Amino acid sequence: MTLALPDCVEVISGENPVGSVIWLHGLGADGHDFEPIVPELRLPADLPLRFVFPHAPTRPVTINGGMVMRAWYDIVTLDSEGRADADGVRESTAILEGLIAREMERGIPADKIVIAGFSMGGAIAINTALNTPHALAGLMALSTYLPLPNEVDGSSGSRDLPVFMAHGSFDPMLPMQWGRLSANKLEETGFSVEWHEYPMAHAVCPQEIADIREWLLRVLA
């Protein structure tokens, strides 16, 4: 059965893109959430990129009383352990893999594709990085955590993947400790993680955007 890919918002920073950034939003948001960040990145004309912002499917979310909203998976508890619905994580990982394959079909090589996400979108990006057969340009995981920590050791993703992780020190929704512990786990299994923390809540700040810009220039150059 052919995987149905979600509708996406696409922003091209310049003609004839040479790389792609597939960026997943957080709980209850949609693909437009990070669209305004693209011009703030001030990317050079000689590095035109395609930004792909997919819309998550709608589903009931347990911690929100079963309310139906856009979510990459169900959140079943407020605790870090067992928080993520494993089947939902795997389904959305397959969606992201499908989006990677589509970018490759459009002429973007795997080593010019960055997968990124904020909050639960970042969790899907991490899980995909752990399992993808492709040698990607990088993983950008913002204000997020490992959704399936018990499966990291047996994962097959390339440990050479550049990883950018960032978190707000005042995050009331996903404590920074969760992000730091997830980064430590990735490092223990062979990944090299570039860790950043900022004095902010569950959000993105100007300094973080500047750091993302510098990182993208490095991994996609």
Point out the residues that are catalytic. 119, 171, 202
Here the tokens at position 157 are: 């993703």
- Amino acid at the residue 65: G
Q: In the Cβ-directed half-sphere of 83, how many Cα atoms lie within 13 Å?
A: 17
Here the tokens at position 119 are: 């909050």
Cα separation, 33 vs 13, in Å, equals 17
Output the CA angle 195-198-199, nearest 5 degrees.
155
Cβ atoms within 10 Å, residue 200: 18
Write out the H or E segment, with its range, that includes residue 10: strand 8-12
